[in-house]
Every structure is written in structure tokens, then in C-alpha cells.
Amino acid sequence: MPNTPPQLPDRLLRFFLPDDQLEEVLGDLHEEYRWQVNRVGKRQARWQYWLNTIGFLKPWVVRRTINKYPTPTNTTMLRNYFKIAFRNLAQSKGYSALTIFGLALGLAVSLLSILYVTDELSYDRYNEKADRIYRINSDISFSLKGIQTARSPTPMGQTLKRDFPEVEEATRLGKYGSHLVKSDHTIIRENGVLYADSTVFDVFTLPMLAGNPKKALTEPQSVVLTEHTAKKYFGTTDALNRVLVFDDNDIRRVTGIIEDIPAQSHVQADFLLPLHETNDAKVNKWGNHIFSTYVVLRPGTKPELVNAKFEHILQTYVDPALRRYFNTSLAETRKAGNYFNYSLLPLTDIHLHSDRDGELSPNNSIEYVYLFLVIALFILLIAVFNFINLTTARSAKRAREVGVRKVAGSTRAELILQFLSESLLTTFFALLVGIGLVYFLLPIFNRLSAKNLAFNQLIETPSIFYLLVGAGSVGILAGLYPALYLSSFKPITVLKGKLWVMPGRHNLRNYLVVFQFSLSVLLIIGTLLINQQMQYIQNKKLGFNKEQVVVINTAQSTEQEVITFKQEVLRSPAIKTGTVSGFLPVASNRWNDMWYPENTTDQKQSVGMQEWQVDPDYIATLGMQLLKGRNFIAGRLADKQAVIINESAAKRFGYQNPVGKSIHLTGGEQLTIIGVVKDFHYESLRNTIEPVGLVVDAGVLGGHSELYLSDVSFRLNTADVASALATIEKTWKQIAPDRPFAYSFLSDDFDAMYRAEQRTEQLFMAFAAIAILIACLGLFGLSAFAAEQRQKEIGVRKVLGASIPAIVALLSKDFLKPVLIAIVIASPIAWWATHTWLQDFAYKVDIAWWVFALAGILSIGIALLTVSFQSIKAALMNPVKSLRSE
């Protein structure tokens, strides 16, 4: 087209010239171009066009336009909002500090809980096949004693894999207590010894650093170590083919080194030993529930499909086993009211949803995680309410600004945006402080929650994004109501100079204070009651005396060694009595069997009873009480066929006078009951006391003398525990010079059973303290503000003769009402919550009324203390100052 000027100069001009000049200049240039085209031709005209364009592109043209015509955008106003927000924060430093610190505490608690919950939810997910791995759970009732266990019959896994194509792989894991492990220069008693099938590497993701995963556990006398363990024993991870000795005579060669198992795993081990070499695996009976079985299903297989097939397994394999070993059939034993239920539990549900007999490691419960989240949410809410309260309370200060902005043409939406950006700014400051608090609180929190959470997780790229989004939503949540409230002021009212009147008593601010203190009271009552229950457990008559008893671990020792050791130690006057027994009324060995009353083999009359092998000094050493009959007599052969039962067992057998009656196992010898011991608690007080029978020779029952010999307990007769321990250690070193001396106090072992509850108590206490602290920060701010507002009123009252106590009472009264209402609201909720918690315990305290009274008095006291600081300050002020200030 002959008449169009070149494009590039136009583009340059569009970029450099201000918009208002562009039209005129371009128009002139185009007109000139056409004129020149007609006059001197296109070529010349284009040349002219370029020259003209360059003429317009002078630096001063460009520079001048910026100053002359600013282009306001949204960010300009936003910048202004943040500037004003910052000035406001800086102007009232006290209030800003209160709000920011309160929010920061709330955010810090939330961050901690998020770290905790993420950690809890990530259990076992490191496994690549995590969504296809299942554990087989067993719910069995045989002889009318139901058990729910994480273990399943020994042949189950391989049978499933062989019979059902849906099952891709199966593996078993099992533990046999602690082992003595010896290398060239160390000998240590190890608890982390796990027996595993060679398929364990096909099921779980356990990357092998050295060795062949296919063969590592198939070779005879092999052991696989974790990296950490290899370093511990050999000082290097290059430990293939080196030798470790287990329990004195079991010599094993290292065939593999795996990476350390992540902490977020319910399977924890330092050593993996081949499971197929154990006797239990060789016996391979359907009735033996000794190992946990894990299966991998093929992709897309529903677990229900496999669950439905367990009936087939029962008919094909369990029924013949029952006929062969128990002289009964599946149908018969079912008719007697028994059942065998097997089911698959997803691997990722084990940590939070499973609390069964025989778990590989103690699990957490999902309720605990929820409780934790709810409390963190409560605390965050309390902090957010603080923000709302303090911002709206100070609205009078901002009222004039709102008026002026509205008169100057600001719309309500713009004002809302302004106040929201203010709360966002505050929240981000709080977030920074909160992250700092987390940094300092994390070690304490880790100790309280028995975790190993890392601060670094918080400052990785994705989590920073979530943090900002999270803090942003908290900021909007906290700022929305104040923004709506402040932006609603009528300019005419506030600009007329009319003092902003505090709205009526039943305003939102009071409701929020009520809510804050309700939550605080709830937490106080929770803490008090958990504390009471813990005291109750610790001081309950346990049926035995846990004080002054020291337990020495003598596992893997011969009977001769153990008995010599006991006799040698008893020579010392500091030791009162001693007993050999691996069965103790704390977490310890257990052995269960079905017992039948005299002359019957009827399953319906059988009693599930534990049998503990003890020696004649057992009852005296543990401070138990014999109610009827007599104790065992040392060396009396007839007592090998004797049994002492506890009260629960006597009740279950239905014997009014059990002494002299006899009981027996299926096809076993008749044992005569020679005594009844008073019921003693041997499991957590969450459970009721179950029947226990004490025998001196388990040989007649099928034998498990290695369990019997695994501990020796001594009752001390001295205050000098240290020297008594030294004596015992010296004796031990003489008898077993190459074994470590491992001891514990019975009372500590007892406490260990309640560690979870103690943790709950401590966490509750910490959270309750933080909740109250934040609520008080808010109350402090509100009372300071009220005192400031009523300065003149106080001045007038003082001039007219009001006393200081009267004024303090006047100022404090307003704040006590919401706290009182909070107590009334929180008490029934707290009663219900603690009542529910206590249902878990078979033995529990009664919820006493004074707990609520105490919580009430505590919260009133704290609130009063907080408020009175400001009220007294205001009441002491010289009225001249406040009245002159007009």
C-alpha cells in the first residue's frame, strides 16, 4: 500500500510518547507523510517520516511526561494502605505488640500442631507400594476368650500368595524380645532385632546399600544391618561378610546393609534376621499367631475381594488343623460360640487406627491427633478474637480517619480493602514472630510429644507458600469483622466531633470474650482432671508394692547362673528378698492358655487364664497379699502340681472356696489350687484385671523356662539405693562377666505404662497455659482501653469523693461478667468431654464438683489480676491531670 507510513516509528512513538500527545503527533505525522508522498515520492517521504519521528523522541519529551501525567493504579492505593497501616501500628506500640504477640502465639501453636499432624499422617507412606500393602488382622475367639491381634497364622501369607492371584507378594515380620549382640569390641543388649522373610524387600521399600536383596535373607545364619547399626558395631558401613554373635552362640554373617528405616514407620528395626530359620516358622501351624503378615495386592485389587476369600482358607486349611490337633471341627467350635475372623488393614492405617495385641511398635490413635488439632484451632481462634476485640475497641481512634476518607470520596469497598490490608500486615508480622517462636519452642515440644520434628520442614518452598496462604486467610478472618465495622461509620456523625459511644453491653466483643474464656476454662478443667486421674493411677492400691524393687534382666542366662546370682545377691543385708521370674505386673512376658475346671473338657466352662512361672519368693518380693491357702514351699516336689490363682480367676471358675480344687489344660495334668492371691493390676488401668495363675514349674504345662529366667527382682531394704545397685552389679559381673548389666526399677516400668497419658497431661497443661495467656493478653488490652476511655469519668468520680477500691471495682466488674458466663457455659461441656475420656479406663476417679469450682476460681482470679493492673493504674491517677486535659 503506497499510502501507509512505516510501522516501526509508530511503534516507537507509541511506547515513548505519553498517551495524550500520541494522537496529535501521530495524526500530524501521517498527514505530513501523505503530503510528502504526493510531493516528493514514497521513498523520500519514508525518509522524512523517520527523521520526524526521531525528532519527537527526545529525552526531555519522555522525562517530562512522567512528572506531568502520573498514572494511578491499584497498587498506588494499596501502597498507601500499607503505609497507613504501618503508621497505625507504630503509633500505638502497646496495642500492636499485644495483638501481634497474641496472634504469633496462636500461629506458633498451629504451626507446631501442623508439623505434628503432618508427621503422624505420613507414617509408612515412604513405601512405594504403600497403597497396595495390607496387614492381616486376626479376631479370634477360641475357648470363648476373644483376642484381637496384629498377628496371623504362620502359613497364612504364603498360602494366600499361592492360592489367590490377586496377592502379588507376602512377607512376615516378628520379634523375640531382646538379644545380646556382640562384635569384636562391643556387646550390647538390643531391642531392635526383627525377624523377616526374604520377601520383605519386595514388600517394603528398604533400599539396600550393599548386598543382594534377593539373597540377603535366604542365606543361612545371615543378618542385615541398617547403616546406623553397621557404623555402631564396625565403625563403617563397609561391613559386608563381617561377623556378629547373637546371644553367645548364634554366629551370623552380615549379608546386607540397608538405609536407616525412616522414623515415620511402624516397622522399626536395627537388625533383620531370616524368619524362615526360626522354630516357629519351621513348625508352620495354622493355630500359631506369632508373626505379623503383610501382603501386596496387585494394582487395582480391592481388599474386600481378599477379605471374602478368608472363609475359603478357613474351610481348606484351618478345619483340618482343628480336627487334627484339637479333636474338634470348624463347624463344632463355631457352634460353641467361637469365631475366626481375618481381615486386611491398609498399611497406612496401622499407625493411627490400630491398637491390637502384638503391634510391632506402639501406635498413636487418630482421636489423639484430632484432639490436638482441635486444641490448636481453639488457641488460634482465641488469638483471632483478640485481634477482633482490640481492633474494634480502638475504633474511636480511627473513626475520624474513616470520616475524612469517606468525605474525600472513598467508597466502602475501598475502606474495607484498607482495613483488610492492615490486618494482613499485622498477621504477617505475627507470622514472622510465630515462626521465631516455633524455632525456640520446637525442642520443648519435641520432648513433650516424643517426636523428632525438624524446623527445616517449615521453611521449605512449598510450605512457605502454604504458610503465606494460611496466614493470609487468618488475617482475612481476623480482619473482616473490624473492616466491616469500621467502614460502616457515618461521616456526618464522626466528623461532627461527637465522641464515639461504646455500643451496648450485648455486643460482639463481650460474646467473643465469653467464647475465649469458655475455651480456657475447658482446657483448665481438662488439665485438672487428667492430672487427678494420673494421681489416682499412681497412688491406687495396685495389689502389689512397686517401690524399692529393682529388676535385673538376665535373659539368655542358664538356670544355674540365675539361681547362683540370686543367692549371691541375697547375702547382702541391703537386699530383703529376691525372686526369679520373667512375669512381672508391668509390661512383661505373658503366657495365655485355656483352663478347664475339675472333670470337664466342655469349652463353654473353660477360662482363659495367664500362667506365670514364679518361685516361692515371688509373693513376698513383690508385696502381694495371699488371701486364702498357702504359698509355695521351696523344694517341695508336690508343689510342681500346685497353682495359686488370683481373685478374678476364682470368680471366673465360680469357686467359693477354691483351695483344694483342681484345674487343668486340654489333655494336661491336673493342678491343685493351693492359694488365692489378692487381685493385682498388671496391665494399664485402662483394662480390668484378668485371671492369673502362678505356678513354680511350667514344665508340666508345655514349658517356657527361657521366659521364666529372663528377670530377677530384688526388694531393697535400704535408702542407699546406689550402693545396693553397685553390690548387685558386682555380683553379676562375677557370674556373667561378658554380659551387660541391665536393670530397671519396677516403679519406673510402671510409670512407663502411662507415658502416653503423662504426655497428654503435659501437652494439655502447656496448651491450657498458652490459651489463658492469649486470652489474658486480650483482656489486658481491652481493660487498658476501657480505662483510657473512661479517664474523665474516673476523674469526675474521684473529685466527687469516690474511693479507689470503688473505682477499681467499677472498672473490673464489666470484665468479670463474661468470665462468669464462660464458666457456666464451659463446665457442662468439660464434664462431658472428660467423662468420655475417662470411659477408656476400667479404673477411674469420680469427677468431683470442686474441680469445676477450682477451675472457675482460677480463671476468675487470672482475669481479675489482668484487669486490676489497668483499673488500679487508672484509679490511682490524679484527677487534675485527666480533667485538665481538655
Distances (CA, A) of 568 to 323, 633, 641, 649, 745: 50, 21, 28, 35, 20
CB of 43 to another protein, least distance (A): 19
By the 8 A CB rule, do 575 and 307 touch? no
Closer CB to another protein, residue 30 or residue 129?
30
Closer CB to another protein, residue 66 or residue 804?
66
Alpha helix locations (H) across 628-668?
647-653
Tell me which of 34, 42, 242, 590 binds another protein, using CB under 8 A: 34
Distance CA 751, CA 759 (A): 12
Closer CB to another protein, residue 28 or residue 669?
28
- Does 498 contact another protein by CB under 8 A? no
CB of 48 to another protein, least distance (A): 9
- Does 503 contact another protein by CB under 8 A? no
Burial class from Cβ neighbours inside 10 Å (0-12, 13-18, 19+) for residue 91 reads exposed
CB of 41 to another protein, least distance (A): 17
Closer CB to another protein, residue 33 or residue 445?
33
Distance CA 811, CA 787 (A): 7
Which residues does 174 contact at the CB level (< 8 Å), separation at least 6? 151, 194, 195, 196, 275, 278, 280, 290, 291, 292
Which residues does 377 contact at the CB level (< 8 Å), separation at least 6? 110
CA nearest 732: which of 556, 580, 553? Answer: 553
CB of 26 to another protein, least distance (A): 6
Closer CB to another protein, residue 58 or residue 630?
58
Closer CB to another protein, residue 54 or residue 865?
54
Which residues does 828 contact at the CB level (< 8 Å), separation at least 6? none
Closer CB to another protein, residue 56 or residue 653?
56
Burial class from Cβ neighbours inside 10 Å (0-12, 13-18, 19+) for residue 282 reads exposed
Tell me which of 24, 131, 355, 602 binds another protein, using CB under 8 A: 24
Amino acid at 805: P
CB of 70 to another protein, least distance (A): 18
Contact set for another protein, span 51-80 (CB under 8 A): 51-52, 55-56, 58
Q: What is the 3-state secondary structure (H, E, C) of 17-74?
A: CCHHHHHHHHHHHHHHHHHHHHHHCHHHHHHHHHHHHHHHCCHHHHHHHHHHCCCCCH
Binding mask 600-639 for another protein (x = CB under 8 A): ----------------------------------------
Tell me which of 15, 35, 465, 466 binds another protein, using CB under 8 A: 35
Distances (CA, A) of 796 to 626, 704, 792: 79, 89, 6
Place of cell 491427633: 369
Point out which span in 31-39, 239-247, 405-413, 524-532 binds another protein (CB under 8 A): 31-39
Point out which span in 47-55, 460-468, 517-525, 789-797 binds another protein (CB under 8 A): 47-55
Tell me if residue 603 falls in helix, strand or coil: helix
CB of 45 to another protein, least distance (A): 13
By the 8 A CB rule, do 576 and 583 touch? no
CA nearest 837: which of 371, 350, 362? Answer: 371
Binding-residue total with another protein (CB under 8 A): 17
Distance CA 273, CA 641 (A): 38
Closer CB to another protein, residue 51 or residue 464?
51
**Residues 881/883/885/886 CA torsion (nearest 10 deg):** -170
Closer CB to another protein, residue 64 or residue 312?
64
Closer CB to another protein, residue 64 or residue 302?
64
CA quadruple 446, 447, 452, 456: dihedral sign: positive
CB of 30 to another protein, least distance (A): 5
Closer CB to another protein, residue 56 or residue 419?
56
- Does 568 contact another protein by CB under 8 A? no
Tell me which of 27, 235, 320, 503 binds another protein, using CB under 8 A: 27
Cell numbers representing residue 757 in the block:
497419658
By the 8 A CB rule, do 252 and 246 touch? yes
Closer CB to another protein, residue 30 or residue 451?
30
Q: What is the DSSP string of 474-523?
A: HHHHHHHHHHHHHTT--HHHHHTTPPPPPP-SSSHHHHHHHHHHHHHHHH
User: Between vectors from CA 481 to CA 479 and to CA 483, what angle results, nearest 5°?
Assistant: 65
Tell me which of 19, 31, 184, 304 binds another protein, using CB under 8 A: 31
CB of 8 to another protein, least distance (A): 16
CA nearest 149: which of 164, 167, 131, 136? Answer: 136
CB of 499 to another protein, least distance (A): 50
CB of 28 to another protein, least distance (A): 4
Alpha helix locations (H) across 698-803?
705-708, 721-735, 746-752, 755-789, 791-799
Point out which span in 27-35, 101-109, 199-207, 823-831 binds another protein (CB under 8 A): 27-35
CB of 44 to another protein, least distance (A): 14
Closer CB to another protein, residue 56 or residue 246?
56
Distance CA 201, CA 194 (A): 13
Which residues does 153 contact at the CB level (< 8 Å), separation at least 6? 138, 285, 286, 287, 288, 289, 318
Closer CB to another protein, residue 27 or residue 443?
27
Closer CB to another protein, residue 31 or residue 355?
31
Distance CA 466, CA 374 (A): 19
CB of 71 to another protein, least distance (A): 20
Tell me which of 26, 273, 295, 521 binds another protein, using CB under 8 A: 26
Binding mask 699-718 for another protein (x = CB under 8 A): --------------------
Cell numbers representing residue 581 in the block:
521370674
CB of 72 to another protein, least distance (A): 23
Distance CA 196, CA 275 (A): 5
Max Cα separation, the chain? 139
Tell me which of 19, 28, 128, 260 binds another protein, using CB under 8 A: 28
Tell me which of 12, 18, 32, 129 binds another protein, using CB under 8 A: 32
Point out which span in 24-32, 118-126, 763-771, 775-783 binds another protein (CB under 8 A): 24-32
Binding mask 4-23 for another protein (x = CB under 8 A): -------------------x
CB of 29 to another protein, least distance (A): 7
Tell me which of 25, 321, 477, 872 binds another protein, using CB under 8 A: 25
Q: What is the DSSP string of 197-259?
A: -TTHHHHS---EEEE-TTTTTTSTTEEEEEHHHHHHHHSSS--TT-EEEETTTEEEEEEEEEP
Q: What is the 3-state secondary structure (H, E, C) of 318-346?
A: HHHHHHHHHCCCHHHHHHCCCEEEEEEEE
CB of 46 to another protein, least distance (A): 15
Place of cell 503383610: 294
CB of 792 to another protein, least distance (A): 57
Binding mask 804-843 for another protein (x = CB under 8 A): ----------------------------------------
Tell me which of 6, 16, 18, 30 binds another protein, using CB under 8 A: 30
| Interface with another protein (CB under 8 A) | 23-32, 34-35, 51-52, 55-56, 58
